[in-house]
Amino acid sequence: MLSDSRTEQDFPTVLKRRVEQFPDRNWIVTPQRNHTYAAMDQCARRLAGGMMSGGVKAGDTVLVMLPDVVDHVGVWCALSLFGGIEVPVNVHYRGNLLAYLVNDSLARTLIVDGAFLDRFVALAGRLEHLERIVVWPDPADHDQDIVRQISRHFEIIGFDSLYGKPYTGPGPCYHDLMGVYYTSGTTGPSKGVTLTHAHVWEYACGIVEMLDLRDSDRYCAPLPLFHIAGKFAVIYASCLVGCTAVLSGTFSAGRFWQDVVDHGVTTTFLLGAMANMLYRQPVLEMDRDNTLERVLMVPLIPEVEDFKTRFGCRVSTTWGGTEMNCPTRSGFDLVDNRSCGKVAEDRYEVRIVDEHDQEVGPGVPGEALVRAREPWIMTNGYWNHPEWTTSAWRNLWMHTGDMMMRDARGNLYFVDRIKDAIRRRGENISSMEVEYEINSHPGVLECAVIPVDSEDTEQEVMAVIVLREGHDPDMEEIVRYLEPRMAYFMIPRYIEIVDALPKTPTGKIRKFVLRDTGISSATWDRVAELDNRE
């Protein structure tokens, strides 16, 4: 049973208890080797000792730009042991965005896979605080010309040189910062969300509850470790209960079920886009012949009941974000295929409000505001940007930017991101609702619905669609499919077929990229098509 004691809401205490309880149990499993709780603890303590000997102090930020390998987990554990602040870097970042994050973090140390070193050559003169680069696994394993160019600006050392005498000193308190996690940047510049030990502990506890996680589980969720869901929803949650986490690499719909079979996976966390890709795979006789029992799916796909039946698993869901954790729980008895559950009222308060922060009634969409009933379990602000913190926490509530609706029974429904909502000729349209219907078309793999400017001063609906392999419906056929399924004003005027949608590494569609592109020469215009016929 998880403890509510404030003295146990820091990671070093959690890890210490698991090592005492299950020293020889595998905590992390990869295709290459297994890593026990005791072995991970010893590795982390040596890394912590080495980092501190090298000048990293409690309260210092340290950039970590590593792939999904065990050493990534080891660095996080090490920093947590002595109070260092981890700043994970999205491994796909480069150019101006990468320079911005490095400077904004104020970090003097970067731990980076040598495969990414070339990205720092052109940026070296622009990095204001960085002094030392730790190359993983070793500088000698990478392009020596690039290493020489980087060494003109920074001290370069190998990862193995970080190992030192095991750290046995005091750990941080529950209210101390554990990390600064930069948001994916789906709506604009990445913001550094500050996370305390209690914040991350609460996040992991919520995952344990939502998945009914047990010490006998084999937990595999193909989410990147630089993201809060990859590290804390999987690795930390596993540590809380003493189960085994499987690091299987980047998500692949074609490989997912083989990973489940190979590792005896019992539970997983799937983003909605991942679940949709699995569901859209051809039906196989082996679909139910797997060990998977429980899935946390965020958000739910419309076909969730068929998904449960087809793959023989139970599904729960939630709603949340890096800043405010997960304030809702659905349980495994889903109300329907759209609700994200009810508020966990012992931990959180949620209000649905209008543009003036006045609460609206059941059935009325509005922005979701959140605050915690317990201290330190939500972010206390954005790193290095107090003005963003002030704006987000207007009127003493965290403004999420999510449009939600609450029904009379207290079930919450995600409607849209406020910036993604569409206003067409006086009608408010949820892009998510339009996407649900388009995605139900048998020829559609996935889609994104965005607003585009209209000559009538408001907006028109545009759908950007990825087709399933072997399907090629024409635009008119898609419109005819949608006509009986949605209000006339929701049917897209513009449709464009693309090979792939732009996404963050965690599978979220980067709609701002599509909005910036807008209508192109490849876009089909339903109105223009009708005009041409006339």
Same domain, 374 and 492: no
CATH for 165: 3.40.50.980
Residue 418 has pLDDT above 90, yes or no: no
Read off the pLDDT of each residue in 5-31 and give the average, rounded to a whole number: 91
Least confident of 41-45, 364-368, 423-427: 423-427
Q: How far apart are CA 27 and CA 219, in angstroms?
A: 10
Last residue of a domain, one of 417, 441, 464: 417
Residue 233 lies in a domain: no
Q: How far apart are CA 399 and CA 392, in angstroms?
A: 5
Residue 1 has pLDDT above 80, yes or no: no
Residue 441 has pLDDT above 70, yes or no: yes
269 contacts: CB under 8 Å, gap ≥ 6:
207, 211, 221, 223, 229, 233, 234, 295, 296, 298
234-237's contacts with Cβ under 8 Å and 24+ in sequence apart are 234/207, 234/269, 235/28, 235/73, 235/76, 236/11, 236/14, 236/200, 236/201, 236/203, 236/204, 237/204, 237/205, 237/207, 237/208, 237/211, 237/213
Q: How confident is the model at residue 503 (pLDDT cuts 50, 70, 90)?
A: confident
Query: For residues 515 and 4, which has the higher predicted lDDT (pLDDT)?
Result: 515
Count of domains in the chain?
A: 3
Give the tokens for residue 105. 């973090």
* SS3 track for 421-441: CEEECCEEECHHHHHHHHHCC
Which pLDDT value is given to residue 189?
63
Give the tokens for residue 164. 């030192």
Burial 335-361 (b: 16+ CB within 10 A, else e): eebbbbbbbbeebbebbbbeeeeeeee
Contact 319, 291 (CB under 8 A): no
- What is residue 95's three-state secondary structure? helix
Q: How far apart are CA 45 and CA 43, in angstroms?
A: 6
Contact 285, 310 (CB under 8 A): no
Residue 189 lies in a domain: no
**Dihedral Cα 369, 371, 377, 383, nearest 10 deg:** 60
pTM here is: 0.85
Which pLDDT value is given to residue 473?
86
Domain that holds residue 503: 421-533
Residue 237 lies in a domain: no
Residue 144 lies in a domain: yes
Same domain, 399 and 426: no
Question: CA–CA distance from 190 to each of 101, 183, 214, 321 (Å)?
Answer: 8, 5, 35, 14
Contact 133, 155 (CB under 8 A): yes
Same domain, 427 and 395: no
Q: Could you give phi then psi for residue 287, rounded to 5 degrees? A: -55, -40
Residue 105 lies in a domain: yes
Same domain, 172 and 24: yes
Q: How confident is the model at residue 393 (pLDDT cuts 50, 70, 90)?
A: very high
Read off the pLDDT of each residue in 454-474 and give the average, rounded to a whole number: 86
Residue 239 lies in a domain: no
Contact 22, 37 (CB under 8 A): yes
Least confident of 120-134, 416-430, 465-479: 416-430
Same domain, 443 and 323: no
